[in-house]
Structure 1
Amino acid sequence: MAHRKVYLAVGRTNTRIYRFDPIDGDTRVVENVPAYKAGYTAMGAQYRGDDKEPLLLAVSGNKLVTIDVAAGKVTDEVVDGLPDDKTWYCGDMDTDGKTLYIVSYPGVPSYSIDVAAKKATAGSDSGAGRWDDFAHHPKDGRLISVEGDNGDLLHIDPQKEQMKVVLKEKVFEPAEASSSAGSRKSYSATFFDDDGNFYAVDSAGNVSHLDLTGTAVPDHAKRIGGGKIPVDDLEVMNGAGRIAPLPVPPSYHEIEVAKKFNSSWESNDPRGKVYSFDVTLTAVSKSTGKGEDVRRFRISFDLPTTTGQKVDASGVDVLYQDGKAYIDAKSDQLLPAGESRPIRVQITVPGDPRELPHEYPLDGLKATRLA
């Protein structure tokens, strides 16, 4: 099971769930899911169908925390046999969604939690070393992780008393800490796509990619997106989920963007409405406030993935996936540092024109620099 987005647990206490889109770096707090005061980590995803949000299962002390993203509910229950005085770092669900496997620190047994029965079974001690999340490889089931201090790529073998097996040294750049107090330098959220591409997010929001689709392990991972994902300067604590393979290169370097609604009118084929906007790009980085030349860009916003949806603009390619539209410049279109340019965009939204809004909201509107 794979969706376009994965889920991040953000904040050491009052932990919130953020939904992360690996294409454009869109990272939004899931507003209907309340904060969990004590904080949780060791999170996994239990998928319930292609068109449904997964249940997220995490651990806080001796409690199993269940996060129902769709219903906006966070509940916890004590797990029989799980110690209440430990901090758990790594977690992932098994392939059938019935067991959450978690690891703490050296000297503490690992545990397998039957999430239906709320019962924990002790396993091997993790042994020496440090890592902060792992994910099952979709092809061979191995737990893959990264050591934050030196970037070593690891296989975590639950059958061994020394679980850490170094697959290759210094594959990733050393992890960065966030600016929040006490933040760790760790790769605290890891996940795969269905093909076996491995992604690791560090505490500060840097995202790295490593091609593990074949038998060979590349020498070096690549930091992708051209910037950190925005998590409000909080610490990324853990992650869960699996994604569909990325159809376009990722881009997280946000630039300034504004919209001006022009007009709307009814359409017949498909039945619905057409909305006209001027979307103005400004060649200024949102993170630094500094001007920087933009040669190619991506505009993205929420758009239901339904038959008949359409976006029209000059000189762009458009991709529709999982409730979003991604508009990429086809070729270099130099926008000098600090300057602005409007782009006329028409959006066709199917539906009953009487029920569609006069102005389409363009929720999630953002622009990123591709080159």
Structure 2
Amino acid sequence: MADGSENQRYNPVTYVAVGDRDTVLYSFDPFTGSVVKTGVPAFPNGYDALGHDWTSGKLYGVSGVSSGEDTTLVVIDPAKSELTTRTVSGIGGTTWVLGAVANDGQSLVLGSADGTAKGAVVDLRNFTAQRTKPAGDGGWYDWAYHPADGRLYAADGDTGDLLYADPDHDPQKTVLARAVFPKAQGGRRPTYSAAFFQQGGWFHTFDTAGNVYRLDLSASTAQKPVTEQDVKPAKQVGNVPIQVEGLAVKDAAGDVIKAGPPAYQALTITQKFRGTWGTAPEVYYSFGLTITATVPGKKPTPVAVDRWRILFDTFPHFTKVIVSGADPSTHGKQIVVDSQPGQKLAPGESRNVDLQVVLTAPLPVPPEPRLDNLEARNLKPSTSEPGE
């Protein structure tokens, strides 16, 4: 099941905490690149060290403001758009930035860096906490559990190193491979501040500026974890940063389904409604789209397009999309239309795309029907990875 509901190990979206104060929760779809503000209210004191408990669907984080030995735990239920807090004693006085919920959903594992370098575990069954070995200094600001090998992985924004946490070491920080990622960008303290896994063992991480990178760790198992020789350089996803209103990406939590090659570079697209015909249960709505091989802006930039992707929101009573020379599919609440091979566009070239949406019941009129949140993307050959 892949509808984003609770109690699923993998979902179409991960959750991203944005902003140092008045932290806001967004959902991020690594397949389409869509970043959507959730209905969860902003939290004035900010939070970090976010982890996702897939067994309950809840998120747990730590407030940026603590009192003595007490720490404020932020509990988020994205399905209900609710945010509550609980007080946890014994681990206060520390700015926690590394956070992940263990694969069994029973504990939130915390770490701090940049001088304090402490570690702790919060038992989510009774909300008690205890100190652990220190995480270790450096530019690692989020970690995530590999679904198969059980390690906590992270990227160091200062060096680009791939790290993992060894709970038996003091400190836990262990360098697995050097300079796997570019040095982080964005903000006063550039870091790789958000991390999550894709089904199958693909590690994803954001830097503070919103650049997304991913790394193939799919061969790693508990019996045979990957070594330095197994690790190849990480690749940027989509070639452009995700857009979150100019705010710093603080954290991410929640593992995602495998959904094919992503593409985030925007292309210019327009639409025109051409008419409707048919009666229930097959009502047809026809649209003429024009996709142009330019990146939108005040001065559109021509780009070469090997393959393209069109995205728009689904309709009530939706059954299917009909389009020639392209392959439509449904991804959550979006319709995704990928061009077939041979549909290349030269820089600045335009192409008309005829598309019909079939519904079981007619739409109310007025207004004139439109494809809501219509977007086009450059699906580059380099975005496809082996094993997908």
Assess, with a 3 A threshold, how the Cα gap between structure 1 residues 354 and 43 changes in structure 2: closer, same or farther.
same
Give the match's secondary structure for 1:187.
coil
Residue of 190, 211, 220 corresponding to 2:216: 211
Which residue in 2 is equivalent to 1:190? Answer: 195
Which residue in 1 is equivalent to 2:16? Answer: 8
Point out the more displaced range, 288-297 or 8-17.
288-297
Across the aligned residues of Structure 1 and Structure 2, the Cα RMSD in angstroms comes to: 2.5
Deviation at 1:97, TM superposition (A): 1.6
Check whether the contact 2:316–2:359 (CA below 8 A) recurs between aligned residues: no
Assess, with a 3 A threshold, how the Cα gap between structure 1 residues 118 and 299 changes in structure 2: closer, same or farther.
same
Residue of 197, 200, 207 corresponding to 2:205: 200
> How many aligned positions are there?
356
Point out the more displaced range, 92-101 or 287-296.
287-296
Point out the more displaced range, 285-294 or 58-67.
285-294
Identity %: 35
Which residue in 2 is equivalent to 1:140? Answer: 149
Assess, with a 3 A threshold, how the Cα gap between structure 1 residues 261 and 294 changes in structure 2: closer, same or farther.
farther
1:58 aligns to 2:61 (yes or no)? yes
Taking the aligned partners of 1:191 and 1:354, their CA distance within structure 2 comes to 39
Residue of 279, 288, 296 corresponding to 1:286: 296
Provide, for residues 145-165 of structure 1, a one-character-per-residue CA deviation record: whole Å limited to 9, x for no partner. 110111101111123211111
Which residue in 1 is equivalent to 2:272? Answer: 260
Deviation at 1:116, TM superposition (A): 4.0
- Matched residue type, 2:48: T
Taking the aligned partners of 2:55 and 2:357, their CA distance within structure 1 comes to 32
Deviation at 1:284, TM superposition (A): 2.7
Point out the more displaced range, 328-337 or 219-228.
328-337
Which residue in 2 is equivalent to 1:29? Answer: 37
- Matched residue type, 2:62: V
- Matched residue type, 2:241: K
Check whether the contact 1:301–1:325 (CA below 8 A) recurs between aligned residues: yes
Check whether the contact 1:273–1:356 (CA below 8 A) recurs between aligned residues: no
Provide, for residues 255-283 of structure 1, a one-character-per-residue CA deviation record: whole Å limited to 9, x for no partner. 22233333344555xx3543222233233
- Matched residue type, 2:320: K
Taking the aligned partners of 1:218 and 1:113, their CA distance within structure 2 comes to 31
Taking the aligned partners of 1:229 and 1:286, their CA distance within structure 2 comes to 15
Assess, with a 3 A threshold, how the Cα gap between structure 1 residues 221 and 100 changes in structure 2: closer, same or farther.
same
Taking the aligned partners of 1:120 and 1:366, their CA distance within structure 2 comes to 46
Taking the aligned partners of 1:294 and 1:345, their CA distance within structure 2 comes to 23
Provide, for residues 267-325 of structure 1, a one-character-per-residue CA deviation record: whole Å limited to 9, x for no partner. 55xx354322223323331367432134321011233799x731111210122232322
Check whether the contact 2:24–2:37 (CA below 8 A) recurs between aligned residues: yes
Provide, for residues 65-112 of structure 1, a one-character-per-residue CA deviation record: whole Å limited to 9, x for no partner. 1122121122222212230x3221111111222211111124453111
Taking the aligned partners of 1:13 and 1:173, their CA distance within structure 2 comes to 27
Taking the aligned partners of 2:149 and 2:132, their CA distance within structure 1 comes to 21
Check whether the contact 1:264–1:359 (CA below 8 A) recurs between aligned residues: no
Deviation at 1:22, TM superposition (A): 0.9
Assess, with a 3 A threshold, how the Cα gap between structure 1 residues 113 and 334 changes in structure 2: closer, same or farther.
same
Assess, with a 3 A threshold, how the Cα gap between structure 1 residues 344 and 42 changes in structure 2: closer, same or farther.
same
Gaps of 5+ in 1: none
Which residue in 1 is equivalent to 2:313? Answer: 302
TM-score, length-normalised on structure 1? 0.87
Taking the aligned partners of 2:255 and 2:316, their CA distance within structure 1 comes to 20
Point out the more displaced range, 141-150 or 128-137.
128-137
Taking the aligned partners of 2:148 and 2:186, their CA distance within structure 1 comes to 31
Residue of 347, 357, 371 corresponding to 1:362: 371
Gaps of 5+ in 2: 1-8, 66-70, 221-225, 381-388
Taking the aligned partners of 2:151 and 2:54, their CA distance within structure 1 comes to 19
Taking the aligned partners of 1:357 and 1:87, their CA distance within structure 2 comes to 54
Matches within 5 A, 1:120-135: 120-135=129-144
Check whether the contact 2:215–2:232 (CA below 8 A) recurs between aligned residues: no
Taking the aligned partners of 2:252 and 2:298, their CA distance within structure 1 comes to 27
Assess, with a 3 A threshold, how the Cα gap between structure 1 residues 21 and 160 changes in structure 2: closer, same or farther.
same
Check whether the contact 2:25–2:40 (CA below 8 A) recurs between aligned residues: yes
Taking the aligned partners of 2:377 and 2:231, their CA distance within structure 1 comes to 28
Taking the aligned partners of 1:116 and 1:67, their CA distance within structure 2 comes to 16
TM-score, length-normalised on structure 2? 0.84
Taking the aligned partners of 1:109 and 1:149, their CA distance within structure 2 comes to 19
Which residue in 2 is equivalent to 1:237? Answer: 250
Assess, with a 3 A threshold, how the Cα gap between structure 1 residues 240 and 363 changes in structure 2: closer, same or farther.
farther
Provide, for residues 127-148 of structure 1, a one-character-per-residue CA deviation record: whole Å limited to 9, x for no partner. 3333111110111110011101
